[in-house]
Chains A and B, each alone.
Chain A
Amino acid sequence: MLNFILRKRQLGLALLVSLLAFSGSAETLKEVAKKRGLTDKDLLAAAKTYTPSGKKDEYLVFSSGGQAGQLIVYGVPSMRLLKYIGVFTPEPWSGYGYGEVEGMHRLKEGMIRGTKITWGDTHHPALSETNGDYDGQFVFINDKANPRVAVIDLKTFETVQIVVNPIFKSEHGSSVVTPNTEYAMEAAQYPAPYSNKYVALTQKNFNEIYRGGITYWKFNREKGRLMPKQSFTVELPPYMQDITDAGKLISDGWSFTNSINTERYIGGFGNGNTHLKHKLANEAGMSAKDTDYMHIVNWRKAEKLFKAGKFKKINGHAVISMKDMVKANALFLLPESKSPHGCDVSPDGRYIIVAGKLDTHATVYDFKKIKRLIDKKDFAGKDPYGIPILDMQKSIHKQVQLGLGPLHSQFDKEKGIVYTSLYVDSAVARWDYLKGKLLEKLPIHYNIGHLVTAEGDTVNPDGKYLIALNKLAIDRFNQVGPLHPQNHQLIDIKGKKPMSLLYDMPLPLGEPHYAQMIKADKLKPVIRYKKRSFKNYVRPGKERVERKGNKVTIHSTAIRSHYSPEVISIKKGDHVTWHITNVERAQDQTHGFTVDTYNLHASIEPGETVTLKFVATKSGVFPFYCTEFCSALHLEMSGYLLVK
């Protein structure tokens, strides 16, 4: 009996211990939710975004890095950051702009009037398109501050070209591509003389000499480069051209560009103005009129004029005059609500949605109506430069009241459904642009600018996800000083359910501006470089140092865990060219390279040969080493540059 009782007690004790052990080690979902104060809605959002280790994302987002001058890549729905691509700004990790000749050359390409510019105000990425769909080959991005456009090759995710606009002094409506990436477009923003000469800022000069414009940069897909000599600009009045979109399908061959300040107002507000002191601020005069103008350009006709030599060269660049464009029936103006912002062409190419910004409405224009007016030459008048103006009412399909401060629109997979950001309301509106009906509004946090849906500006939007690109999150994250992070908010737009907020992703870089979301399986990046494709490839066993006068060329290899050669002596004043081949093939065997004091850094991916150039201006002993933890003996992967 005693034995039975003891056994029973032991059994009970064992059960209790195992129960305690179980409850201590394995938390249930309910327990975690309770501890962390999560609701069922939160758990559902987590389940929709959580991406377990090793699982990949369905979409990739290419987001402007704003004032950081970079391009950011992240995955959706996980919102995991994948890459920063150095574009207009040096990027230390990859070594872009730190002595490696390719990166140095890129940044040199972006010099304006002899000035090296090491930042950029990137705004609008544009993925290359084939038949109006993203093709995953290239992405373009602009620099508003210093009018430039860059090309990033999506095989390597590296910047391969920067072109400087030879006549603009700023830009904004860029980059936008035509449906087969024939052109990357760049619309000016703040009017200025095309020449680089000083022209006094008087109303007369402003009206007669200051100019806007749209540059159509010809793209050669095989070369993967913009072709400046085959590119041209359409001269436009000194209105501030703004957001631009390319026509598609039935509107293919046309482009649509908003504008502000068609008043041509020049402000002078406040103390300290050197002249025009009597005037009110820009913002007062620039929004005086009820309407501004959408610029409608037939770029195929402009292309014909260019090919026929109907242009003049300014700063070595072809400019087609407004007069020739009007004569060729290739340039028109269409009134739009004053100071508008977004200008977005529907997937079928028929409708153009312009968001009012200062108006609570979005206006849906019908391209068929516009085309009819153009074909019949049914114009409401002409602007001071002789450009025909179309009748606004005769061009409109619908006007819909959405809320305060409508800005940009992106399309859904479902026909007629569009999403528009409401800046002042801090909300996203879902509405039907065919029926002209507001369906739903979702609050976001806060200051939304652009928004992006999956492939939402192509001929085949994918729906599913929307990201609100919000500026300066004031209460969503831990405080990190007075400059707040940006907030990319992921929103579920699947099905006909109400929109629901899934995730907040802070980004500690510049203003997000625009982004594009592409199906991940469209991207085919290379995994590693082909060694033989580099002309300065150093074969193992052929490492050497060559000297011709004061020109020293070092041919090095890098492999786990040594450079060859490891000790190199040169003389002060030598001009050094240093080729380094990473002879590894394992895809994660990247080696870094730096030399003390000389401000050099390179990231050498497997199979890659990089070349660094510098002048040995200082004598002394300079260790060099691998900056990536490449192997167990990584710290030993080092050497000495001895400068006598």
Chain B
Amino acid sequence: MLGSVLLLVALLWYSVNLRQQDETNFLESLLLRVTGPTQAGFDRVIVGAADIWGHYLYLVDTAEDNRQLTEENRTLRAVLTQSDEVRLENERLRLLLDFKETQEIDTLPARVIAEDASSWFRTVTIDKGSVQGVVEGMSVVAAEGVVGRVVRSRPRFARVLLLTDASSAVASLLQDNRARGVCRGKGEYLVFDFVLRQEEVTVGDRVVTSGMGGIFPKGLVVGNVKSVDRQEFGLFQVIEVAPTVDFSHLEEVLVMLRGPQ
């Protein structure tokens, strides 16, 4: 009987409230006032606990993950660097191969393994020698141009006198107006000697080997004119040439397998 009354009251309450369902009634308001702060308090506690767990207690695994990821990152970086190195070497070798295919003379690729022990001289040691057919006097080139000539040959190694050494001289000519001269090394650049004053030379002109002297074949790039000084007196101009080959980063070269003519 009591149950039926309660059920009826509840139904009536429900049906009465259906009309004001868009408004907050007194009971709901009271409930919200009580439960809201409580829920908020619990929420803060739970969030705080989760934060402590996630950021401090659970960090035992995170530290391990972090170590693994750092290790992985380091390994990947090493692989990436190695891959970059291989890619760059590949590009350089491709250039050298393209250049090799344009040459009529047989060439032998070699790797630069050491530099001169002194700062006053410009020589390098390559990993090919008389066993591979490298003899004194052979010219050495790179894709960018002339490197130098072989001055010492041992069974497995050879030393190359670079174009920029003070004792190096190459018979050359200007590609445009064919003015002849001799390019001499000056340490980091070259001077183009014996070009007559009346020859028209401008900065940027390309200098190539003339083929005279029998060491270097004709037409190999030596460098570009860097400065021209046509002095008031004298027979010749003072011309500085910037070599096209970057001698400070020389890694692979080609030895032209033909002795001096």
- Please determine whether chains A and B interact with each other in the same assembly: no
B-contacting residues of A (Cβ < 8 Å)? none
